[in-house]
Amino acid sequence: MEEKKALIFGSDHAGINLKRILMDFFHPQFEIIDVGTRDTNSCDYPLYARNLCVKVLELKTLGILICGTGIGMSITANRFKGIRAALCTNEYMARMSREHNDANVLCLGERVIGVDLAKSIASTFVNTSFAGERHLKRIELIEKLV
């Protein structure tokens, strides 16, 4: 049997409900790795963004970060070299973030979007590939310039 690809999840307290739902949703397709938080106690999102980015870079796979708005997670994740985090509120953004930007981290806001939309955005993200070609040069420029 083919080995399942890893999909990494991280959240703070404001994103933990949606994270649990999405981890269950993707469980049949992926090996799920949760870098925390594990309960609803108030906590600091940068710590979990950091944990997730380290794991995504180590395993060379995709990750999903969830906080209240997704903004704090995306600001933090994009400080890590090699991480391209995309805060998406619809499927089009999710598809483009993979095809054009080769995003390796999806950020979602539990307080912003509903569960069904989140599932659809996340499915689009994990099932879309980077288009390469002219977009590759631009990704390389990010790494070179920043």
Q: Kindly identify the residues of this chain, within the stretch 69-88, that bind ligand RB5 according to CB under 6 A.
A: 69, 71-72
DSSP calls for 73-84:
HHHHHTTSTT--
Shortest separation between residue 40's beta carbon and ligand RB5, angstroms: 12
The minimum distance between CB 74 and ligand RB5, in angstroms, equals 8
Point out which span in 33-41, 67-75, 79-87, 97-105 binds ligand RB5 (CB under 6 A): 67-75
State the minimum distance, in angstroms, from the CB of residue 69 to ligand RB5: 4
Residue 85, Cα to own-chain centre: how many angstroms? 7
Measured from each CB, the residue nearest to ligand RB5 is 72
Q: Torsion angle of alpha carbons 56, 78, 51, 89, nearest 10°? A: -80
Closest CA to 11 of 58, 56, 46: 46
Residues forming the active site:
67, 100
12 contacts ligand RB5 (rule: CB under 6 A):
yes
Among 116, 80, 130, 106, CA closest to 9: 106
